[in-house]
Chain A
Amino acid sequence: MRLECTVNDEARSLDGVWEGESLLYVLRERLGLPGSKNACEQGECGSCSVYVDGILACSCLVSAGQVHGARVITVEGLAEGDELHPIQRAFVEAGAVQCGFCTPGFVMVTHDLLAREASPTEPEIREALAGNLCRCTGYQKIVDAVQLAAKMLEEE
């Protein structure tokens, strides 16, 4: 099929896409956007999280055919040029990044959470992050990063 959609506000058109391949595959292998990570391809790890028409989803579980005409935002779409998004800065400052493999997914869920709830409680944060796995940090620094990001966004 010819797949047409917008990715990070840019209209994209791709030929020869198989409708059944995952959006994650399209992003990484066809569009050269490796920010969304592939760690499980079964919805368990959250490292491939992106917005599809404004709704946070695991891109590994959305088929290419389903995003024809859709608006996709990936982690690459958050920063403004070289300027990191405040959530990304908060992750760096809080020490929430070790190997960094899980970070794009956590940044995306944090973005989604803070858009709905500007100052979430710790249980709310843990609930929002429940679909994302990190094998390095033990999660506490990630929770700290979300709290710091909330504060930074409030001050902006």
Chain B
Amino acid sequence: MEFLQPSDWQDALAAKAAFPDAVPVRGGTDVMVEMNFDRGRPAALLDLSHVKELGEWGRDDTDDTCVRIGAGVTYTRVLRELGTTVPGLAQAARTVGSPQIRNRGTIGGNLGAASPAGDCHPVLLAADAVYEVESAARGVRRIGADEFYLGPKRNSLDADELIRAIVVRATDTGQQFAKIGTRNAMVIAACSFAVAINREVRSVRTGIGSAGPTPLRAPEAETYLTDMMTQGELWEGGRLPDADVLKRFGDLVAGAARPIDDVRATAAYRRHSLRVMARRTATWALRQSC
């Protein structure tokens, strides 16, 4: 097995171009499990630990209402440093694994693994995030979260590309994430849900996790709540939508899911819990930004 250890981003891109089969590794919390159990012995490992750029975050150069967060930023750092910048992502980070897993697991690793149960995805879909990927040959490409997920554990990265960063609007309000599992810690979601309500541009966006082959949105639910907010003149704040509006929003989210029965939950339970999580998180997000 080749072990490639680039010292910066340009080296990393060159290595990935030279060895398209190399498996990138940063935190290792997905890759090492596979290796320990001999499920995958890659031809080459591309260790991104020393690529400093991946651990940085700051205002986005092209749009200063957004932050650009390096793919190698860990959950522990998201929690400590980004709680009032991308609150939904910080909430999701807080539910990942355990302190040890959060200390090493990264956003980029979650996107790379593209598990339908990954906790970053619903939040990033809801927050309308854009993923910045790059290759030595073709340079930077920005992919909307909507276009990124192709199937279970499949994303739209090309073989010579690496994930550089995520770009997302900075806000301290209107985002909520909820997750269902058997325990409070160390749990892969039975299902999860995120909502982002942006009163400035009057939008509602959603993300569903672990209830379909990929993370999903619930477009009908989004349109419905947006229309109800407009009709009820609720965007300016002060009042919440009626309880049956929020309930209907939950029903529409449950309807958008494409769950299956598996070891973690039945499809019916997934739909039920989505209905409840959607209603609650929307209520929290609206109340908080009221």
Q: A19-B45, A130-B185 are in contact. Are A41 and B100 (CB under 8 A)?
A: no
- Which of A56, A61, A132 contacts B32, CB < 8 Å? A61
Interface size for A (C-beta < 8 A) is 29
- From the candidates B28, B41, B98, name the one contacting A66 in the complex (CB within 8 A): B28
Q: Are B186 and A60 neighbours in the complex by a CB distance under 8 Å?
A: no
Task: List residues of chain B with CB within 8 A of the CB of A55.
Answer: 103-104
In this complex, how many residues of chain B approach chain A with their Cβ under 8 Å: the count is 26
Q: A44 to B35, Cβ gap below 8 A? A: no
* Chain A residues closer than 8 Å to B41, beta-carbon distance: 20
Tell me, yes or no, whether B49 is within 8 Å of chain A by CB: yes
A61 touches B97 (CB 8 A): no
Q: Which residues of chain A from 19 to 46 have a CB within 8 Å of any chain B CB?
A: 19-20, 22, 41-44, 46
> In the assembled complex, which residues on chain B have CB atoms less than 8 Å from the CB atom of A49?
100
Question: Is B62 located at the chain interface by the 8 A CB criterion?
Answer: no
A135 to nearest B CB, angstroms?
15
User: B211 to chain A: closest CB distance in Å?
Assistant: 24
A42-B36 in contact (CB<8A): yes
A108 to chain B, nearest CB (A): 9
CB-CB contacts below 8 Å: B39-53 with A: 41, 45, 47, 49
Q: Does A154 belong to the interface (CB within 8 Å)?
A: no
Q: Considering the chains assembled together, what is the distance between the CA atoms of A156 and B125 in angstroms?
A: 50
Report the minimum CB–CB distance from A51 to chain B (whole Å).
10
- A56, B47: Cα distance in complex, Å: 19
B1-A19 in contact (CB<8A): yes
The answer to whether B45 touches A65 (Cβ under 8 A) is yes
**Is B17 in the interface zone, CB < 8 Å from A?**
no
Asked if A131 and B49 sit within 8 Å, CB to CB, the answer is no
Residue of A1, A18, A55, A66 most packed against chain B (CB within 10 A) = A66
Q: A1-B3, A19-B1, A65-B45 are in contact. Are A60 and B103 (CB under 8 A)?
A: no
Interface 0/1 of A113-146, CB less than 8 Å to B: 0000000000000011011100000000000000
Chain A residues, Cβ within 8 Å of B5: 65, 68
Cβ contact within 8 Å between B3 and A43:
no
Q: Mark B90-126, 1 if CB is under 8 A from A, else 0.
A: 0000000111110110000000000000000000000
Contacts of B98 in A (CB 8 A): 43, 46, 130-132
Asked whether A73 is an interface residue with its Cβ less than 8 Å from the other chain, the reply is: no
A76 at the interface (CB under 8 A from B): no
Q: Is the CB of B1 within 8 A of A43?
A: no
Q: Are A43 and B47 in contact (CB under 8 A)?
A: no
Is A8 in contact with chain B by the CB < 8 A criterion?
no
B28 touches A62 (CB 8 A): yes
- Chain B residue with Cβ nearest A132: B98
- Does A57 touch B at the CB level, under 8 Å? yes
Q: Given contacts A20-B3, A63-B47, A65-B3, are A131 and B32 in contact (CB under 8 A)?
A: no
Nearest Cβ in chain A — how far from B2, in angstroms? 9
- A46–B25 touching, CB < 8 Å: no
Q: Which of A18, A61, A63, A130 contacts B186 (CB 8 A)?
A: A130
Asked if B37 and A42 sit within 8 Å, CB to CB, the answer is: yes
Write the residues of chain A forming the contact surface with B, with a CB cutoff of 8 angstroms: 1, 18-20, 22, 41-44, 46, 49, 55-58, 60-63, 65-66, 68, 109, 112, 127-128, 130-132
22 A-B contact pairs sorted by A residue (CB < 8 Å): A18-B1, A42-B37, A56-B99, A57-B104, A58-B100, A61-B27, A61-B32, A61-B33, A61-B104, A63-B45, A65-B5, A65-B45, A66-B47, A66-B49, A68-B5, A112-B99, A127-B99, A128-B99, A130-B186, A131-B100, A131-B101, A132-B98
Q: What 10 A-B pairs have minimum CB-CB distances, sorted nearest first?
A: A131-B98, A130-B185, A19-B3, A61-B32, A41-B36, A65-B3, A42-B33, A131-B100, A58-B100, A61-B28
15 additional A-B pairs beyond A56-B103, A57-B104, beta carbons within 8 Å, are A22-B32, A44-B186, A49-B100, A55-B104, A60-B32, A61-B36, A62-B32, A62-B104, A63-B25, A63-B28, A65-B45, A127-B99, A130-B185, A130-B186, A131-B185
